[in-house]
Chain A
Amino acid sequence: MPDKPGSRSSGFDRRAFLAGAAGGALIPLTARAASEDARAPAAQDPALPVEVTLNVNGKDKRLSIDARTTVLDALREHLKLTGSKKGCDHGQCGACTVLIDDRRVLSCLTLALAAEGQEITTIEGLATDDRLHPMQQAFIDNDAFQCGYCTPGQIMSAIACVKEGHAGSEADIREHMSGNICRCAAYPNIVAAVKQAAPEIMKG
């Protein structure tokens, strides 16, 4: 995929950043101060803002952010798209699920920099002209949520689940929707919603 105009114009050195970040992750906290000087010349301060352009719901958004910013925090804190939720920030709950180039991705485990040049679709990008996406409508029809906090992630995951061909049976849906925790436990209703929406989504 060709680079989008304006991408990576900051002169940010990805290799230097990764070296610094990975080193930081591996060095125990107590030893960190001692090693700081040794690697300082190679590592850029990650808090220095980096220019990045994200394509979100069909629109290019230019941001100046901390290089460690995840796609989730870029959406929520910088683009004010708060539909994607933070439930664990560890890739354990699925509330942050978005589609990146049509694949379901945990946006809390994806750096914004790494998503540059890819198409990000969030819950806010599903409905068109006041018409709900079939999966959104199916979630309403089947009461597939209670508190609603996991719902954006469930819906994004459900759309991908259908497109991946994993909505053939209830058991299949259950298995492939198990990366998204619903603490209210609306699970049987979520399965019913995926079943309802699947044919329409497959039709295109």
Chain B
Amino acid sequence: MTAAAPGPRTNMGQPVPRYDAAAKVTGRATYASDMPLDNPAYAFLVTSAIAKGRIDRFDLDDAKRVRGVIDIVTHENAPKLKESKLYSNGGYAGTTIQPLKSAEIAHDGQIIAVVVAESYEAAREAANRVKVSYSAAAPTATFDSPGTTTAAAKGQNSQFKEDPKVGDFAKAFDAAEVKLTASYETPTQHHNPLELFTTSCTWMGDNLVIYEGSQYVHGLKHGVAEQLGIDADKVRVVNPYVGGGFGSRGSMTPRTAIIAAMARRLNRPIKLVPTRDQGFTITTHRAETRHEIKLGASRDGRLVALRHEGAEVSSRPDAYCVGGTKTTTRLYACPNVDSLVSIVRADRNTPGFMRSPPEVPYLFALESALDELAVKLNMDPVELRRINDATRDPIDGKPYTSRSLMACFDEAAKAFGWSQRSPQPKSISDGDWLIGYGCAATCYPTLAGPSAARVRLQRDGRTRVEIAGHEIGTGAYTVIAQTAAERLGVPLEKVAVFMGDSDLPPAPVAGGSNSTASTCSAVMMVCDQIRQRLFKALMPSDSLADKAKETVGISPAPSTQAAKSDRSLDIEKAFDALGVGVVEEYGEWKPEGAPLDSFRAMHSGQVRLVGGHQMKDQIAYAFGAEFVEVRINRFTHEIRCPRLVGAFAGGRIMNPRTARSQLMGGLIWGMSSALLEATEIDERNARYVNDNLADYLVPVNADVPGVEVILLSEEDDRINPVGVKGLGELGNVGTNAAICNAIYHATGQRIRKLPVRLEDIEL
């Protein structure tokens, strides 16, 4: 067994290799732009060179002269498309800025023309020969730029209903023995999944097939149908593999309907492969944020007052915000809490979710502030968190379904060697390198959404699972196959899983760490429907059928061994009794507390995720603790992070191999959010400056020497039938704070603005 496949602890599945492993190492895995098309034309985008103003005139003569050009579309001749509302307002779109509709420019890099040609090379050349005359206005770039408007998020964002508060913060803060006020900043970031934001559209009569990397095929299908004004049943989105999502492919972008409409007009498949830099402006991003934290505590470390004020930048028309105060006001026991989230509008494209959207920026502020408080109290930061550990949601008083935060701290601290740490800053060094240790908590809400599935079982045990889930690298194929194999008692290698196709039964968006909980709960339920039919065929008496029923819903899956020895015999006999060759079941599962319109919404491409703090009688979060070592060169100020140790508790771990990998990737993302990633903005022109993979820094292999992931055993039967909390976003929360806390320990310098650059270090 390799380090990649840790042996399962209690309440963990087997670390089997990925279902899609062979396809991925041989190049057979087909991503959207790998799909064969019959005689495609190639599209190339032209994007705006200004951020605000209008287009006066296009000169297309030069472009049209390029050999092989077929069509050039601008706002003057573009196919008419219906507008789609934001996904959060009952629509499907990630932005309401619809390009090619008018001469107006709302942000830099907006699509202003599309060239279609016989070859990619000709389309690219012609796009570069499109000449545009603009009337440019002075754009507003970001915080502090002239022309921003600021207003409370509450009341303008339908998903941000309340600023959490409890008790009397002002009074308690005034009276607190120890006080801290500190401000923090996080930068704009771009997901940069390695697969470009490609779209291929092909029509067969009235039916449209879209090949596009998507984290929500049913949403994209309905959104494009709405924009084209056609029946959603005529649109199919296919993407069996997605080359990374991280939130960037969760909602519809304007490009898809444009390409679909152009392909219809041309009566020929069109393939669009946007460039990497275009990806920075034709999709979404993580917005830059600012925070002020106020903490009041007693001398023994008990929090008595906590206030978190956050501000986020959004576009002019869309009130997007992540509003992470919903989590930061609930993480620690504190009787007096206040919060406020504001949205700052600028001439930018609309932001969107990026891996752990609320928690990455908001916990950076809180977990940094907690470390600052620990220093003021002269207290170990782990002990400060222990003193303020909560068993109930401090805002609403609801109990946590399970909470292993301190168990995570203890296991990670032990593995890291935290007890060896001398708390004094600048107390550890190795030659020219100052060494610092730091830690922080992570948490992420446990969410799930309605999901359907179809399962088909043959007499010989061959099983086919159909569900429009998404393989974005999480191991979705693998854990769904494991669920079906365990539940039906068939060998894993006999299970085939079909996903990433909107013709399959709908599953939720692959976002918010809900996929495993939602899809595996649905698959488990449908497998149980099959078991019931088989049991009934074998033993038609009521009592036994009742016994079979007991296995439906919230019950642990049968152990693999037991399933293998009993059930395979059952299956053959049951098929004989039934007199059929195939048993197929379809079912729709929804989590407890899902709204009444859940299934209707599911079939309309809309997601109703529930959980976290919005449950009726309880609150559900996954927790973890992260410890890091930083080394800072005392002469060059170079910052390295040789060690990342994280311990995580996420309910049932379906597959320790895929779980470990996802959390490991998360930890590295967290390190990156502290030390590398930032989209730099030219404040005069409201443009992204470093819009490529050389200048937008992401980690490479040499940046990541040592990562250790510890998976804790945790059982939670109150969250969903499979008992899964979700891990995709847990790993990269808090890491940024842990690193800044370690930098403080190494240097005595507190850095409150990300990312930390070597010029920020003053020694």
On A, residues with C-beta under 8 Å from B are 29, 32-33, 45-48, 65-66, 68-69, 73, 76-77, 80-90, 92-93, 95, 122-124, 126-127, 132, 136-137, 139-152, 155, 170-171, 173-175, 177-192, 196
A192 and B4 contact, Cβ closer than 8 Å, known pairs A122-B27, A132-B25, A141-B17: yes
Residues of the A chain whose Cβ atoms lie less than 8 Å from the Cβ of B704: 174, 185, 187-188
Residues of the B chain whose Cβ atoms lie less than 8 Å from the Cβ of A122: 27
Contact A147–B4 (Cβ < 8 Å): no
Contact A142–B701 (Cβ < 8 Å): no
Contact B67–A143 (Cβ < 8 Å): no
27 pairs, CB–CB < 8 Å, chain A vs chain B = A46-B125, A47-B66, A69-B119, A76-B34, A90-B694, A122-B27, A126-B26, A137-B25, A140-B21, A145-B473, A146-B665, A147-B243, A148-B20, A148-B24, A148-B241, A148-B473, A151-B24, A170-B705, A178-B703, A183-B192, A183-B194, A183-B244, A186-B665, A187-B668, A188-B704, A189-B4, A189-B664
On B, residues with C-beta under 8 Å from A are 2-5, 17-18, 20-31, 33-34, 36, 62, 66-68, 119-122, 125, 128-129, 131, 192-196, 241-246, 273, 275-276, 471-475, 657-658, 660-662, 664-665, 668-669, 672, 692-694, 698-707
A27 smallest CB distance to B (angstroms): 12
Contact B18–A183 (Cβ < 8 Å): no
Contact A87–B669 (Cβ < 8 Å): no
Contact B26–A189 (Cβ < 8 Å): no
Residues of the A chain whose Cβ atoms lie less than 8 Å from the Cβ of B68: 47
Contact B27–A77 (Cβ < 8 Å): no
A178-B703 Cα distance, complex, nearest whole Å = 9
Contact B702–A178 (Cβ < 8 Å): yes
Contact B194–A45 (Cβ < 8 Å): no
Contact A33–B62 (Cβ < 8 Å): yes
User: How many cross-chain pairs have Cβ atoms below 8 Å apart between A and B?
Assistant: 211
Residues of the A chain whose Cβ atoms lie less than 8 Å from the Cβ of B707: 188
Q: Which listed residue, A46, A47, A124, A147, touches B472 by the CB 8 Å rule? A: A147
Residues of the B chain whose Cβ atoms lie less than 8 Å from the Cβ of A86: 33, 196, 273
Contact A124–B30 (Cβ < 8 Å): no
Contact B33–A139 (Cβ < 8 Å): no
Specify which of A46, A141, A183 lies most central, judged by the most chain B CB atoms within 10 Å of its CB.
A183
Residues of the A chain whose Cβ atoms lie less than 8 Å from the Cβ of B699: 185, 187
A82-B28 Cα distance, complex, nearest whole Å = 8
A87-B273 Cα distance, complex, nearest whole Å = 10
Q: Which listed residue, B5, B33, B243, touches A143 by the CB 8 Å rule? A: B5
Residues of the B chain whose Cβ atoms lie less than 8 Å from the Cβ of A192: 2-4
Q: Closest A residue to B195 by CB, please name it.
A: A149
Residues of the B chain whose Cβ atoms lie less than 8 Å from the Cβ of A77: 120
Contact A83–B27 (Cβ < 8 Å): yes
Q: Which listed residue, A65, A82, A144, A185, touches B27 by the CB 8 Å rule? A: A82
Residues of the B chain whose Cβ atoms lie less than 8 Å from the Cβ of A184: 244, 473, 661, 665
Q: Which listed residue, B275, B471, B693, touches A93 by the CB 8 Å rule? A: B693
Contact A47–B122 (Cβ < 8 Å): yes
Contact B25–A183 (Cβ < 8 Å): no
5 closest cross-chain pairs (CB), A and B: A83-B27, A149-B243, A147-B473, A146-B473, A148-B24
Interface of B is mostly: loop
A183 smallest CB distance to B (angstroms): 5
A141-B698 Cα distance, complex, nearest whole Å = 26
Residues of the A chain whose Cβ atoms lie less than 8 Å from the Cβ of B122: 47, 66
Residues of the B chain whose Cβ atoms lie less than 8 Å from the Cβ of A66: 119, 121-122
Interface of A is mostly: loop
A92-B692 Cα distance, complex, nearest whole Å = 8
Contact A149–B276 (Cβ < 8 Å): no
Contact B194–A147 (Cβ < 8 Å): yes
Residues of the B chain whose Cβ atoms lie less than 8 Å from the Cβ of A136: 25-26
A132-B241 Cα distance, complex, nearest whole Å = 21
B29 smallest CB distance to A (angstroms): 5
Contact A88–B241 (Cβ < 8 Å): no
Q: Which listed residue, B17, B471, B668, B692, touches A88 by the CB 8 Å rule? A: B692
Q: Closest A residue to B657 by CB, please name it.
A: A143
A84-B703 Cα distance, complex, nearest whole Å = 25
A149 and B193 contact, Cβ closer than 8 Å, known pairs A84-B27, A87-B276, A140-B21: yes
Residues of the A chain whose Cβ atoms lie less than 8 Å from the Cβ of B128: 29
Residues of the A chain whose Cβ atoms lie less than 8 Å from the Cβ of B242: 147
Taking A139-B21, A149-B194, A190-B701 as given, write out 11 further A-B residue pairs in contact, using a Cβ cutoff of 8 Å, ordered by the A residue number: A68-B121, A68-B125, A69-B121, A86-B196, A92-B692, A132-B25, A148-B241, A149-B241, A170-B705, A185-B699, A185-B704
Contact A124–B27 (Cβ < 8 Å): yes
A183 and B698 contact, Cβ closer than 8 Å, known pairs A48-B67, A150-B194: yes
Residues of the A chain whose Cβ atoms lie less than 8 Å from the Cβ of B693: 87-88, 90, 92-93, 181
Contact B243–A46 (Cβ < 8 Å): no
Residues of the A chain whose Cβ atoms lie less than 8 Å from the Cβ of B194: 85, 87, 93, 95, 147, 149-150, 181-183
Q: Which listed residue, B3, B243, B668, touches A148 by the CB 8 Å rule? A: B243
A89 and B276 contact, Cβ closer than 8 Å, known pairs A139-B25, A140-B18, A143-B661: yes
Residues of the B chain whose Cβ atoms lie less than 8 Å from the Cβ of A181: 194, 693, 698, 700
Contact A185–B665 (Cβ < 8 Å): yes
Contact B27–A123 (Cβ < 8 Å): yes
A65-B25 Cα distance, complex, nearest whole Å = 29
Q: Closest B residue to A149 by CB, please name it.
A: B243
Contact A32–B67 (Cβ < 8 Å): no
Q: Which listed residue, B20, B26, B705, touches A174 by the CB 8 Å rule? A: B705
Residues of the B chain whose Cβ atoms lie less than 8 Å from the Cβ of A68: 121, 125
A87 smallest CB distance to B (angstroms): 4
Contact A82–B195 (Cβ < 8 Å): no
Q: Closest B residue to A66 by CB, please name it.
A: B121
Residues of the B chain whose Cβ atoms lie less than 8 Å from the Cβ of A151: 24-25
B130 smallest CB distance to A (angstroms): 10
A88 and B18 contact, Cβ closer than 8 Å, known pairs A147-B473, A181-B693: no
A155-B27 Cα distance, complex, nearest whole Å = 10
A186 and B661 contact, Cβ closer than 8 Å, known pairs A73-B120, A149-B195: yes
A190-B685 Cα distance, complex, nearest whole Å = 41
Residues of the A chain whose Cβ atoms lie less than 8 Å from the Cβ of B23: 148
Residues of the B chain whose Cβ atoms lie less than 8 Å from the Cβ of A147: 193-195, 241-245, 471-473
Contact A174–B192 (Cβ < 8 Å): no
Residues of the A chain whose Cβ atoms lie less than 8 Å from the Cβ of B25: 123, 132, 136-137, 139-140, 145, 151, 155
Q: Closest B residue to A127 by CB, please name it.
A: B26
A29-B242 Cα distance, complex, nearest whole Å = 36
A193 smallest CB distance to B (angstroms): 9
A175-B426 Cα distance, complex, nearest whole Å = 29
Residues of the B chain whose Cβ atoms lie less than 8 Å from the Cβ of A149: 31, 193-195, 241, 243-244
A83-B246 Cα distance, complex, nearest whole Å = 22
Residues of the B chain whose Cβ atoms lie less than 8 Å from the Cβ of A177: 701
Residues of the A chain whose Cβ atoms lie less than 8 Å from the Cβ of B17: 140-141, 143
A142-B15 Cα distance, complex, nearest whole Å = 11
A60-B576 Cα distance, complex, nearest whole Å = 55
B568 smallest CB distance to A (angstroms): 27
Residues of the B chain whose Cβ atoms lie less than 8 Å from the Cβ of A152: 27
Contact B662–A146 (Cβ < 8 Å): yes
Residues of the A chain whose Cβ atoms lie less than 8 Å from the Cβ of B196: 86-88
B715 smallest CB distance to A (angstroms): 25
B721 smallest CB distance to A (angstroms): 26
A85 smallest CB distance to B (angstroms): 7
Residues of the B chain whose Cβ atoms lie less than 8 Å from the Cβ of A81: 27
A192 smallest CB distance to B (angstroms): 6
Contact B33–A174 (Cβ < 8 Å): no
Q: Which listed residue, A83, A87, A173, touches B26 by the CB 8 Å rule? A: A83
A181 smallest CB distance to B (angstroms): 6
Contact B665–A142 (Cβ < 8 Å): no
A88 and B702 contact, Cβ closer than 8 Å, known pairs A46-B121, A146-B661, A150-B194: no
A33-B700 Cα distance, complex, nearest whole Å = 42
A71-B705 Cα distance, complex, nearest whole Å = 33
Q: Which listed residue, B20, B28, B276, B661, touches A83 by the CB 8 Å rule? A: B28
